[in-house]
Amino acid sequence: MTEAEVGQPRRRWGLIAAVVVIGVALAAGSRTMNPWLSGVLWLGVWAVIAVLLKSLAVKRSMQITVNLTVLVLAFIVWNYTARQPRMRVEAIQLRHLPSSGRPGLVELTARNVGGSDANVVVQSAAVLSVFLRNAQEMRAANIQSQLEDRLDKAKPIPAEGTTAVGEDKTTVINVEVPFSERVWQYQRGNLTVVVAARIQYRDRLFNREKLFCQYANPQSGNWVLCPFLNN
């Protein structure tokens, strides 16, 4: 076998690697192009690789393995990089404290920072806890399990259907703080309000979930991220 014949398969394998890199670059730039166009380009990449593998006289089992790998990679990258909704909680404000006669109210503002409209369903929960200063005390107080239990039992909002949130638009989420006769201790700085929300929506293919949790007390005056239920 001549040197040219030996080098030809190497060049073709190098060409396959280059085609894969080009495909990844196309997918990375797909946020600025039509999502279906990016999918067609990825299929083109796969077709070129299939032809190159066949020209290399690679064993059929190897061709199938490589082609399936490229297809799966293309699918994952295409879906991840395409324009799709992404929700983020941007602001939180305590509107009024609970009392023995009525619940309190915390207001969350969530923004869709993705590249397409979102249709969201929200579950929310809050607890008026013992005074908490840091993450260690939150874990010791078993707040996470309380919030998870309340979120699982919370009624979805809206009860039927979804709430539409346009690209770069916001929606307000109202969270009730349960009745309490200890609210006067909060005003003295001896209690902490902990708020959590689960925002569910669908991107192009998958159901997504945004979890949010923050806590505050009068002594700190600031809302701080919980060491759990945030993603």
Digit-by-digit pLDDT tens for the chain (231 residues) are 444 444 455 665 666 666 666 665 655 555 455 555 665 666 666 666 666 656 655 566 666 666 677 677 767 666 666 778 999 999 999 998 887 778 889 999 999 998 889 999 999 999 988 888 888 888 888 899 999 999 999 999 998 889 999 999 999 999 998 887 777 787 788 889 999 999 999 887 788 899 999 999 887 778 999 999 998
Residue type, position 17, single letter = A
CB atoms within 10 A of CB 185: 14
Q: CA-CA-CA-CA torsion for 206, 73, 168, 194, nearest 10 degrees?
A: 60
CATH code, 87-225: 2.60.40.10
Cα→Cα distances 139→145, 147, 162, Å? 10, 12, 33
Q: Are strands 224-225 and 207-216 parallel, antiparallel or unpaired?
A: antiparallel
Tokens of 147: 């919030």
Residue 201: CA atoms inside 13 Å, Cβ hemisphere, count?
Answer: 25
* 3-class DSSP assignment, residue 57: coil
For position 180, what pLDDT does the model report?
78
The pLDDT score that the predictor gives to residue 96 is 87
Which helix (H) or strand (E) segment holds residue 13: the answer is helix 3-28
- The residue ranges of every structural domain in the chain are 3-81, 87-225
For position 203, what pLDDT does the model report? 82
